[in-house]
Amino acid sequence: MIDLYTARTPNGFKATVTLEELEIPYNVQAFNLSDMTQKEDWFLKINPNGRIPAIMVHR
């Protein structure tokens, strides 16, 4: 399964549109970037640059 971390921005939409077009199932966690969740320690372990979009693949 894929976890998609995204937000309502053009870069965020790119990842969502790609997964939708490929018909790949995914869970979505949408951030409000002004909350700065993308800079929290748990998210920096997923994407060290602290930006969305990010995808985590669970095998």
Ligand X SMILES: N[C@@H](CCC(=O)N[C@@H](CS)C(=O)NCC(=O)O)C(=O)O
Interface ranges with ligand X (CB under 6 A): 9, 11-12, 33, 38, 49-52
Cβ atoms of 13 and 35 within 8 Å: the answer is no
Q: What single-letter DSSP state applies at residue 17?
A: H
Q: Which is nearer to ligand X, 10 or 23 (CB)?
A: 10
Q: Which is nearer to ligand X, 26 or 33 (CB)?
A: 33
Q: Which is nearer to ligand X, 23 or 57 (CB)?
A: 57
Contacts (Cβ under 8 Å, ≥6 apart) of 42: none
Cβ atoms of 6 and 52 within 8 Å: the answer is yes
Question: Closest separation between CB of residue 47 and ligand X, Å?
Answer: 8
